[in-house]
A and B are shown apart, each in its own frame.
Chain A
Amino acid sequence: MADTMSVSAHAPGPAAGHEPGHDAGKRDFLKLVAGASAAILVGAIAWPLIDSMDPSADVLALGSVETDLAPIVAGMAITVVWQGKPIFVRHRTPQEIKAAQDAKLSELIDPQTDAARVKDGHDQWLVVIGICTHLGCIPLGNKPTDPRGDWGGWFCPCHGSQYDTSGRVRHGPAPLNLYVPTYAFETDTKIKIG
């Protein structure tokens, strides 16, 4: 940088200085370098401020919860809290499983097979994040007295979205199926979410 400066200090003599384009190219370069450095500096200062608003380590550390499935009878569902979010764990009846498996993919808003949403050999257990994919309300349908919509799954009271017995959206305005969280069966009656 010092070299460049000293060269430019010598170069524009009385004649050369008035030569169009000669000086301007160097000046443009300096402006670009200065501008780019300033932009990087501002970004470097801004990033810690912006990132400080992302989930903090203690929030991220709310890793996993274990849930005992034994008390849930067929046709019932429970709500488990994981990372501040409600998780629906539903024990499906054979009819509900059949309805979920028989649904034609062409009829779905967000096509996905039932098999892709449950664990192999555990067809009766559906585990989904109980948050409507429209605007984040909690759909009704865990209690037998709740409205479950026309497809027997869940019904969102906020804007009328309906989900089937696989947690797939069947009626808008929700655009996507209920999310399936990461979980694993530890034993046949115990799952670990997260």
Chain B
Amino acid sequence: MAGLHKSDIENPVLNWIDTRLPVITMMQKEYAVFPTPRNFNYFWNFGALAFVVLAIMLATGIFLAMHYTPEKTMAFDSVEAIMRDVNYGWLLRYTHANGASMFFIVVYVHIFRGMYYGSYKTPRELLWMLGVVILLLMMATAFMGYVLPWGQMSFWGATVITNLFSAFPLVGHGIVTWLWGGFAVDNPTLNRFFALHYLLPFVLIGVIFLHVVALHITGSNNPLGIDPKGPQDTLPFHPYYTIKDSVGVCVFLIVFAVIVFFYPNTFGEPDNYIPANPLATPAEIVPEWYFLPFYAILRSVPDKLGGVCMMFGSILVLFVLPWLDTSPVRSAKFRPLYRVFFWLQLASCVALGFVGAHRPEGFWVVLGRVATAWYFLHFLVILPLLGKLERPLPLPESISRAVLRGGGGGPLPGAAAAKPMEKV
């Protein structure tokens, strides 16, 4: 059980460390020689990208916290001081504020990639569920971070979202008072949101660690959705995917920089540059863009409790997605019907995003209700039935066959995929 590790590292100092704490061996095993499917496309960059954004958010956030004051009469002014007086404060804040948007863009692509290629299916169910926990933690963190500048949208966003809990019978109002630490969103609320906004990213790191551990147990999925059958199907993570991820990171950072330096307020709401006023609600309360689809679901249901349940349900349903999808075939490449429904579902999510940005009137109400219904129909009815009714295309014999003969991993005709393997 206990015992020193036999390290094969040549450098005596590193060897001495590795013998007692084999982190270097572990890193080599998990990140250098780690066998990774050879057919990744660029959608497999987004996990690494999410990690890069998280690092940027932590770094900028810690330095912002050195200048920010979580007190209701000083919070808004301290943010303005960061923008005007603190050296590079504008850069820290614009990077942090837009970093939240970039984080959600990256993570949403990561999630839809998982849905398209069936990455949530056995044996990766727990990996997927940890991912949903990460999404929930990100949402809570982003929401509380948005409250901190204490502008009008901060204040009224906090009021509307915390009031969601008042929909629950009996305990609702008690919960809301407890969340606020008073009888309205006020100084205690701001103070605790700051504490939690600082805490949650570290919880996030813990769950991400488990997410990565689970990934290294099951191994990565790949665009074909079939398991690697041997060394001919995989590549060592380094240098092949460290290089591929680096390319993606460079492109991503260019996009990020363009936004930070040239369009820093595009994702923001102008109303948030007005200090919070508890006695005047802005004409329109709009959440940040990454919450718009959920906000649309909330408003599409005429009943308060019903709307709140549907909104929370829209994320909770993701936890059981691995069991709702009954098809054993992972990749949508080989599921002609699922492919169509995948794009329809993506379209319904985008439509909900637009609905959330508009006043709930006329056309937008109808579209919101149709898209909400479709969102749940897709997960709860279509996916379970599709696995039974759909006839998937024949799967390739192996990743290497498909990559080497199929012209870059495109879908293979069934016969071509099956025959050469028989000769081997």
Interface residues of A (CB under 8 A from B): 50, 53-56, 59, 79, 81, 83-86, 131, 134-138, 157-160, 172-175
Q: How many Å lie between the Cα of A175 and that of B305 in the bound state? A: 9
Q: In the complex, A54→B360 CA distance in Å?
A: 35
Q: Which of B283-306 contact A (CB under 8 A)?
A: 283-285, 299, 302-305
Once the chains bind, are B302 and A158 in contact (CB under 8 Å)? Answer: no
Report the count of interface residues on B (CB-CB < 8 A).
Answer: 32
- 0/1 string, B127-166, CB within 8 A of A gives 1: 0000000000000000000000000000010011011101
For the complex of A and B, list the 8 residue pairs with the smallest distance between their C-beta atoms, beginning with the closest.
A84-B184, A136-B163, A137-B281, A83-B183, A135-B160, A135-B163, A136-B159, A138-B281
Is B186 interfacial (CB-CB < 8 Å)? yes
B48 to chain A, nearest CB (A): 37
Chain A residues contacting B285 (CB-CB under 8 Å) are 137, 158
Tell me the total A-B contact number using a CB cutoff of 8 A. Answer: 78
Cross-chain contact B302 with A84 (CB below 8 angstroms): no
The answer to whether the Cβ of B188 comes within 8 Å of any Cβ in the partner chain is yes
Which of B162, B181, B303 makes the CB contact (< 8 A) with A56? B181
Q: How far is the CA of A79 from the CA of B178 in the complex (A)?
A: 25
B281 touches A84 (CB 8 A): no
Provide the bound-state CA to CA distance between A85 and B182, in Å. 10
Given contacts A55-B183, A136-B163, A137-B160, contact A158 B178 (CB under 8 A): no
Is B389 located at the chain interface by the 8 A CB criterion? no
* Min CB–CB distance B324 → chain A (angstroms): 29
Residue of B nearest to A83 (CB): B183
State how many angstroms separate the Cβ of A133 from the closest Cβ of chain B.
8
B89 at the interface (CB under 8 A from A): no
- CB neighbours (8 Å) of A83 from chain B are 182-184
Interchain CB contact under 8 A, B281 and A158: yes
Is B307's CB within 8 Å of the partner chain A? yes
List of B residues within 8 angstroms of A59 by Cβ: 181-183, 186, 188
Question: Can you report 8 A-B residue pairs in the complex whose CB atoms are below 8 A from each other?
Answer: A59-B181, A59-B188, A84-B186, A84-B278, A137-B156, A158-B281, A173-B304, A175-B305
Q: In the complex, which residues 158-213 of chain B have their Cβ closer than 8 Å to any Cβ of chain A?
A: 159-160, 162-164, 166, 177-184, 186, 188, 192
The answer to the question of B280 belonging to the interface, with a C-beta cut-off of 8 Å to chain A, is yes
Residues of A with C-beta under 8 A to B177: 54-55
**Which of B179, B180, B182, B285 has most chain A Cβ within 10 Å?**
B182
Q: Which residues of B contact A53 (CB under 8 A)?
A: 178-179, 181, 188, 192
Whether, in the assembled complex, B279 has its beta carbon less than 8 Å from a beta carbon of chain A, the answer is yes
Cα distance A138–B155 in the bound complex, in angstroms: 12
* Chain B positions within 8 Å of A175 at CB level: 303-305
Which residues does chain A contribute within 8 Å of B183, judged by CB atoms?
55, 59, 83-85
What CA separation (Å) do A53 and B156 show in the bound complex? Answer: 21
Taking a contact as CB atoms under 8 Å apart, the answer to whether A138 and B280 are in contact is yes
Give the nearest-CB partner of B184 in chain A.
Answer: A84
Q: Which residues of A contact B279 (CB under 8 A)?
A: 79, 81, 86, 138
B181 neighbours in A (Cβ, 8 Å): 53-56, 59
Q: In angstroms, how far is the closest chain B Cβ from the Cβ of A109?
A: 11
Q: Are A135 and B184 in contact (CB under 8 A)?
A: no
CB contact list, B68-84 vs A, under 8 A: none
Tell me the smallest distance from the CB of A60 to a CB of chain B, in Å. Answer: 9
**Would A54 and B178 count as touching, CB distance under 8 A?**
yes
* Contact of B304 (CB < 8 Å), options: A131, A138, A160, A174: A174
Q: State in angstroms the CA–CA spacing of A135 and B295 once bound together.
A: 12
Chain A residues within an 8 Å CB radius of B302: 172-173
Residue contact B184 to A157, C-beta cutoff 8 Å: no
Contacts of A86 in B (CB 8 A): 278-279
Give the chain B neighbours of A79 by CB distance below 8 A: 279
Is the Cβ of A157 less than 8 Å from the Cβ of B281? Answer: yes
Q: Which residues of A contact B186 (CB under 8 A)?
A: 59, 84
Which residue of chain B has the shortest Cβ distance to A55 in the bound complex?
Answer: B182
Closest chain-B Cβ to A181's Cβ sits at a distance in Å of 10
Complex CA distance for A187 and B279, rounded to whole angstroms: 27
CA distance A157 to B280 in the complex (A): 11
